[in-house]
Amino acid sequence: MDIDNLTTGEKITLAGGALAVVAAFLPWVSAGPFTVSGIDGDGTFTLIFGAIAGGIVLLRDWEKADIVGVGLLGVLSVLVAGNVYSNLGGMGGSSDIISVSAGFGLHLTMLAALLLIGAAAQGYRNSESTANQQFAGSS
C-alpha cells in the first residue's frame, strides 16, 4: 500500500487509529503519585477501536460502509473516554488529600476519537461530491 495513494480521510484515520492505540498505553487517570493507564481499564476498548480503524484503511477500499464504520468507531471512543472523564469527579471522594485528574493519555484518546470522526466526515463529504460529479457527468 502506497501512502501517496490514500485519500485525506484515510490518512487522518490512520493517524487517529495509531494515536488511539498509543494513548491506550499512556496514563489515563492520575491520583497523587499514582497513575492508571488506559489498558488497565476502558482503554482496551479504544485500543481495539483504533486498531480496527487502521485495519479498515489498510485492508479495505474506503467505501461508504468503511467510512461510516470509522465514524462509528470514533463515536464509541468518544463515549468511552467521556465516561472516564465523567467518573473522575466521583473518584476523589470528599477528601482533598489526593487529587484525581485526567492523564494525558485520556486527552490523547479523545483527540484520536475526534480525528476518526473528522476523517469519516471528510471521507463521506468526498464520496458524496464524487458521486454528484459522476451523476452530473452521466446526464
Q: Is the dihedral of CA 38, 39, 40, 42 positive or negative?
A: positive
CA-CA distance, 63 to 108, in Å (whole number)? 27
> What's the mean pLDDT in 105-110?
97
Per-residue pLDDT tens over the stretch 1-31: 667 788 999 999 999 999 999 999 999 999 8
Q: Are 49 and 77 in contact (CB under 8 A)?
A: yes
Question: What average pLDDT does the segment 122-137 reach?
Answer: 68
Place of cell 485528574: 101
Residue with cell 484520536: 112
User: What DSSP assignment string belongs to 59-86?
Assistant: HS---HHHHHHHHHHHHHHHHHHHHHHH
Q: How far is residue 29's CA from residue 119's CA, in Å, rounded to a whole number?
A: 27
pLDDT of residue 92: 53
pLDDT tens digits along 33-71: 889 999 999 999 999 999 999 999 999 988 999 999 999
Domain ranges of the chain: 7-126
Q: What is the DSSP letter of 4?
A: G
**pLDDT for the residue 99:** 80
Can you tell me the distance from the alpha carbon of 137 to that of 130, in angstroms, rounded to the nearest whole number? 10
Closest by alpha carbon to 119, among 56, 67, 75?
A: 67
